[in-house]
């Protein structure tokens, strides 16, 4: 019983740390909810993974620009197809 409790606590910690690794926001063009991985402010030229919750898809994108505002951070990213998206993320 003690081992079962320890195992369930360990699994719970792993699940919590895995789900907190994304940075939440929305796509300004489509108003879709998105999450950016890794969970940090990228620099111009970095590659990030953008998960679109509404379409349930993930796409690797190249960061074109980063603008820090009072409460948000705006990322302009280019998809592999060449489309530009403005992502409005939670402020850091």
> Is-above-0.95 flag for pTM?
no
Name the residue among 64, 66, 63, 36 with its Cα closest to residue 51: 36
Q: What is the CA radius of gyration of the chain?
A: 16
What is the phi/psi pair of residue 8, to 5°? -70, -35
Per-residue pLDDT, 9: 53
User: What are 18-75's pLDDT values in tens digits?
Assistant: 445 789 999 999 999 999 999 999 999 999 999 999 999 999 999 999 999 999 999 9
CA separation (Å) from 30 to 2, 34, 85, 88?
50, 11, 9, 11
């Amino acid at each position: 019983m003690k081992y079962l409790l320890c195992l369930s606590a360990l699994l719970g910690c792993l699940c919590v740390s895995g789900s907190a690794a994304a940075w939440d926001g929305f796509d300004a063009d489509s108003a879709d909810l998105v999450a950016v991985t890794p969970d940090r402010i990228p620099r111009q030229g970095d590659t990030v993974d953008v998960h679109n919750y509404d379409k349930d898809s993930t796409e690797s994108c190249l960061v074109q620009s980063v603008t820090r505002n009072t409460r948000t951070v705006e990322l302009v990213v280019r998809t592999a197809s060449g489309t530009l998206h403005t992502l409005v993320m939670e402020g850091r």
